């Protein structure tokens, strides 16, 4: 378990912590939610799904993130009332994410922080927070993903009827943006611009046509 050196953020629970019979005392009150999400990540995100529309795991990065001990979970009790409150809660984690090793190099793409909100019963605030914060996060080279039991209405990239962001506990996930993230960013000019600035010279071959079309649209709109 990691404790923030200066701020009052809740601790980060590491994959190795889940091997013990009980989680550390600092997070014991939220053990059920933490273990539920950890099992969901291991079983659902790391595994295939018949409705996914392609071969392989639901999330190609999670298994390596878990194996390298870079998959961190934290909990915020209570029910954030709005986007502003949720954004403020995430600030400590966003800054902390940047301090955690590895900061650069290929291994950095596997670093992930999941912030759980187990007492939330209305999930719309999670969706709205993700939409509002996404442009700022992408400008900093980060992705912010929303997951909850709703589930979020976003369909899968390969099967629009599939709801891949379903999770047993509401949460927001922070990770580094990678070149293959373009399909998640293509519908918004701000996020397209952030992608082009960071990855314009190393777009994966299978995405180049789509990225070129988005870049042309951006140039035409004068953004």
Q: What is the pLDDT of residue 222?
A: 65
DSSP tag of 170: -
The pLDDT score that the predictor gives to residue 73 is 98
pLDDT of 129 reads 95
What does the pLDDT read at residue 121? Answer: 87
Q: Which residues contact 90 (CB under 8 A, 6 or more apart)?
A: 115, 129, 133, 144, 172, 174
- CA pair distance 70, 64, nearest whole angstrom: 8
What would the two tokens of residue 120 be? 């939330």
Rounded to whole angstroms, the Cα distance separating 66 from 33 reads 18
Tens-place pLDDT, residues 30-45: 999 999 999 999 999 9
pLDDT 10s digits, 146-183:
999 999 999 998 899 999 999 999 999 999 999 999 99
Quick check: helix, strand or coil at residue 221?
helix
pLDDT tens string, the chain, 223 residues long: the values are: 999 877 767 899 999 999 999 999 999 999 999 999 999 999 999 999 999 999 999 999 999 999 999 999 999 988 988 999 999 989 889 999 999 999 999 999 999 999 999 999 889 999 999 999 999 999 999 999 999 999 999 999 889 999 999 999 999 999 999 999 999 999 899 999 999 999 999 999 999 999 999 999 988 876 4
- Supply 144's token pair: 């912010």
Q: How far apart are CA 187 and CA 58, in angstroms?
A: 22
Which pLDDT score is estimated for 5? 79
3 state DSSP class of 148: strand
Say what the pLDDT of residue 110 is: 97
């Amino acid at each position: 378990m990691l404790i923030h050196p200066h701020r009052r953020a809740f601790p980060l629970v590491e994959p190795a912590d889940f091997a013990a019979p009980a989680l550390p005392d600092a997070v014991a009150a939220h053990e059920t939610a933490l273990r539920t999400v950890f099992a969901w990540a291991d079983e659902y995100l790391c595994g295939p799904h018949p409705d996914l529309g392609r071969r392989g795991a639901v999330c190609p990065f999670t298994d390596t993130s878990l194996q390298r001990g870079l998959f961190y979970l934290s909990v915020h009790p209570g029910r954030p009332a709005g986007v502003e409150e949720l954004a403020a809660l995430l600030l400590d984690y966003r800054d902390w994410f940047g301090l955690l090793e590895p900061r650069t190099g290929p291994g950095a793409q596997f670093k992930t922080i999941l912030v759980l909100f187990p007492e939330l019963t209305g999930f719309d605030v999670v969706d709205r927070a993700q939409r509002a914060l996404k442009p700022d996060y992408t400008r900093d080279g980060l992705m912010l993903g929303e997951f909850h039991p709703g589930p979020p209405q976003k369909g899968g990239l390969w099967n629009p009827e599939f709801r891949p962001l379903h999770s047993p506990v509401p949460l927001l996930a922070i990770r580094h943006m990678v070149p293959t993230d373009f399909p998640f960013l293509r519908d918004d000019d701000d996020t397209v611009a952030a992608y082009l600035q960071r990855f314009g010279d190393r777009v994966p071959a299978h995405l180049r046509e789509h990225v070129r079309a988005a870049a042309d649209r951006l140039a035409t709109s004068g953004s």
